[in-house]
Amino acid sequence: NLKSEPADLLKILDFHNLPEGVTKTTGFCSHRRSTQGPDVAYKVSKDAQLSAPTKQLYPGDAFPEDFSILATVKPKKGSQSFLLSVYNEQGIQQLGLEVGRSPVFLYEDQTGKPSPEDYPLFRGVNLADGKWHRVAISVHQQTITLILDCKKKINQKLLRSPNPIIDTKGIIVFGTRILDEEVFEGDIQQLMIVADHRAAYDYCEHYSPDCEVPVPDRPQNQDPNTEDDVSSVSPLHLFKSILFHNACPNGWKTPGFLCLLDIH
C-alpha cells in the first residue's frame, strides 16, 4: 500500500547532501548487529534553515487524516523547540511537534480545531535530557498517543473536527516555527510520517529496532551517503526560501513570514 509507505522527511529536506548547519554523526547505536559501523545520524546546528513544499510528502494526494510521526532524536540538553512545523498556504501553522520538557503537539484543522488551549501536552516527558529517544506519535480520530522509547504510552484527546483537513499547499519547516527564536539543536537519525496510525506501535520493531537487532530495509536506517537514486530525491534546489520583510507572494500576507519561491 503506497499510502502507508513512510514519507522520509530527512530525505525530502535533503539532509544526506549535508546542507549548511548539518553534519554527519554517530546515531542511536554506536554498534549494530549485521552492519558495518554505527548508525548514521545528523548533527543539526542553529545555522540550519530547512524547509520544503508540503506537497513533496504526498505528491498528488491529501495529507492523511490518521497518521504516525516517527522520530529518533537527541535534542540538545535543556533545549525546547519544534522539531517539525507544517504551514498552510496562508502561513498558518497546522501541525507541529515540540521536543523538550512537557512537549506539546500542535494541530489545527481547517475549522480551527482544536483551539490552542486544547493542544495535547505531554507532562512528565523530557525529550531534551541529552539522551537518544525513539518518539512515536499516533494520531487516530480524536486521540493522540505518544509512545516513548518503545515503553511509555501516554494518551491525550485531540479535539479536532470529524473530517479534518491539513492543507498541502504550504511548507514544512524543520527545527522551528516561523518567527520563533528557539531552533532545534541536536542529533537526528529518523523523521518520518506514515499514513497509518498503527505504525507508531510498531516503530521499534519495523523502523528503529534495538541495537542488537539487524536494521530493517526502511528509510534512513542505512548510511544515506551510500549509493542512492538521486533522481528520486525532490529537487529542492529549484526552490528558495526567503524571509520577506515587506510582502509575500501567493497569499503569504504576514510581513516577516518565510516564503517559498518557485524559481524553475
- The C-alpha angle with vertex 240 and arms to 183 and 262, in degrees rounded to 5, equals 135
* Residue 242 within a domain: no
Q: Over 90: is that where the pLDDT of 172 sits?
A: yes
pTM: 0.82
Say what the pLDDT of residue 220 is. 53
238 in any annotated domain: no
For 117-135, write each residue's pLDDT tens digit.
999 999 999 999 999 999 9
Give the rounded percent of residues in the chain with a pLDDT score beyond 70: 80
**CATH number assigned to the domain comprising residue 142:** 2.60.120.200
Confirm whether 251 is domain-assigned: no
Residue 213 lies in a domain: yes
Domain extent, residue 69, equals 2-220
| Res. 239: pLDDT tops 80 | no
With a cut of 80, say whether residue 232 has pLDDT above it: no
At residue 257, does pLDDT exceed 90?
Answer: no
Please tell me the total count of domains within the chain: 1
pLDDT band with cut points at 50, 70 and 90 for residue 219: low
